Amino acid sequence: MPFDRLIDNIKAKNNPTVAGLDPKLSYLPAYLKENAYRNYGKTLEGAAAAILEYNKGLIDALCDIVPAVKPQCAYYEMYGWQGMRTLAQTIQYAKEKGMYVIEDGKRNDIGTTMEAYAAAHLGETQVEEAACSAFGADALTVNGYLGSDGITPVLKVCKAMDKGMFVLVKTSNPSSGELQNQLISSEDTVYYTMGMMCEQWGRELMGAYGYSGVGAVVGATYPAQLQELREALPHTFFLVPGYGAQGGGARDVAPAFDQNGLGAIINSSRGILCAWQKEGCDERDYAGAARREAIRMRDEIVGCIQAG
């Protein structure tokens, strides 16, 4: 059932974190870029080739200790279709290495169009009698501004293909409150209302651990809301961005977990991707540095959950 595979991975590695693959070119070691530019020039194709090598090195170094990766679509789309090919190849590679793949696309649209997005990112695309996999991630982030119509088609694919989704509830960015903190009918905030919709949407997709296949994105940068939502949404698994570079610490994310230490996965992107720059190590050890940072992050967060 949805997210059971993710939770199994988290338990097996005793690590409730996900490595965000947001590969800005400035994060890449020079030798990877030079190799790629030699073959393809300083072009979208050259950049996309360098990023694929970079991602593979990271996945190799992380796959036995980190349960999941989260590629952010924007950092692939900016390199055009060549970047999207790297995204598809990255997803494929991570799955082959046993990692759970959360594609961060924040997609949203009306029903018929969401069917197309669900096929693209989680399900299969029918080309006459042939069923083809376009991106084939395990879970997708989505935006619920359009209501149930935009969620139901994704639910359907999640049910049929054992996939999951995370709906934006309370995002980690500074201006997230402009709309999300507004009070609806003087009672509940927009983010709380969206959270309750997740509980509702998830009813048909309950998993063995008590969490449904409809998760929520709740930022580490708002710990009070994280705690409020953890209590209000007992069946909703959280994807928590904002740890590390965005300012959230391990204590801030502790309220995201239930009494069994489950219920959430914490994302770090820049902290892991740029570990070699922060450490000041040889650039050819970028993946080693990422692994050391991933272990540090795991131990810090697991420590805070156990202490909590």
Residues classed as catalytic: 106
Would you count residue 197 as binding a copy of itself (CB under 8 A)? yes
The rounded distance, in Å, linking the Cα atoms of 273 and 297 is: 13
Least distance to a copy of itself from the beta carbon of 94, Å? 16
For a copy of itself, which stretch binds (CB under 8 A), given 124-132, 204-212, 228-236, 283-291? 124-132
**Interface with a copy of itself: number of residues (CB under 8 A):** 76
User: CB–CB of 40/74 below 8 Å?
Assistant: no
Site of tokens 């509702």: 200
List the structure tokens of 292.
């050391």
Q: Among 213, 138, 229, which residue's Cα sits nearest to residue 176?
A: 229
For a copy of itself, which stretch binds (CB under 8 A), given 59-67, 173-181, 227-235, 296-304? 173-181
At 96, phi and psi to the nearest 5? -60, -30
Look at phi and psi of residue 136 and say left if phi exceeds 0, alpha if psi is from -120 to 50, else beta. Answer: left
Look at phi and psi of residue 14 and say left if phi exceeds 0, alpha if psi is from -120 to 50, else beta. Answer: left
Which residues in 11-40 contact a copy of itself (CB under 8 A)?
A: 22, 25, 33, 37
Least distance to a copy of itself from the beta carbon of 18, Å? 16
Cβ nearer to a copy of itself, comparing 193 with 227: 193
Would you count residue 277 as binding a copy of itself (CB under 8 A)? no
Which residues in 77-106 contact a copy of itself (CB under 8 A)?
A: 77-85, 87-88, 106
User: CB–CB of 168/217 below 8 Å?
Assistant: yes
Least distance to a copy of itself from the beta carbon of 184, Å? 4
| Amino acid at residue number 25 | L
Least distance to a copy of itself from the beta carbon of 32, Å? 13
Which residues in 57-76 contact a copy of itself (CB under 8 A)?
A: 72, 74-75
